[in-house]
């Protein structure tokens, strides 16, 4: 009764080793390496696209939250803060000033 069990176990191990050996040999051929490289490139492209999509979604969300114009010059709606890149306010030198120290 034990011999058929050991025979089946040995045959199964031999088939398993043979299949794994073929896969390893195929992976080390030029075509196998090319397939692995193209799979790696595809994975990298998918990750890059996913990161770009997430970045665009987050930027849109932040622009909506802070009231920034989606395209064009950066502006904040309301408040006293200016957006980065907005022009500096100009001061009119001919305008009268309210100087409390030397005015009479």
pLDDT in tens, 24-36: 998 889 999 999 9
The pLDDT-based confidence of 90 (bands split at 50, 70, 90) is low
Confidence (pTM): 0.46
What pLDDT shows up at residue 93? 64
Cα Rg, the chain, nearest whole Å: 35
Q: Are 51 and 62 in contact (CB under 8 A)?
A: no
In the chain, what's the furthest Cα-to-Cα distance? 121
CB-based contact 76:67 (threshold 8 Å): yes
Task: Pick the closest to residue 27 from 15, 16, 39, 42 (CA basis).
Answer: 39
pLDDT of amino acid 52: 95
């Amino acid at each position: 009764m034990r011999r058929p069990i050991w025979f089946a176990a040995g045959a199964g191990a031999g088939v398993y080793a043979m299949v794994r050996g073929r896969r390893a040999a195929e992976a080390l051929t030029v075509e196998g390496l090319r397939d692995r490289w193209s799979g790696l490139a595809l994975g990298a492209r998918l990750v890059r696209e996913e990161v770009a999509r997430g970045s665009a979604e987050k930027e849109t969300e932040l622009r909506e939250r802070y009231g920034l114009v989606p395209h064009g010059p950066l502006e904040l709606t309301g408040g006293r803060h200016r957006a980065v890149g907005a022009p500096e306010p100009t001061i009119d030198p001919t305008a009268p000033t309210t100087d409390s120290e030397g005015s009479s």
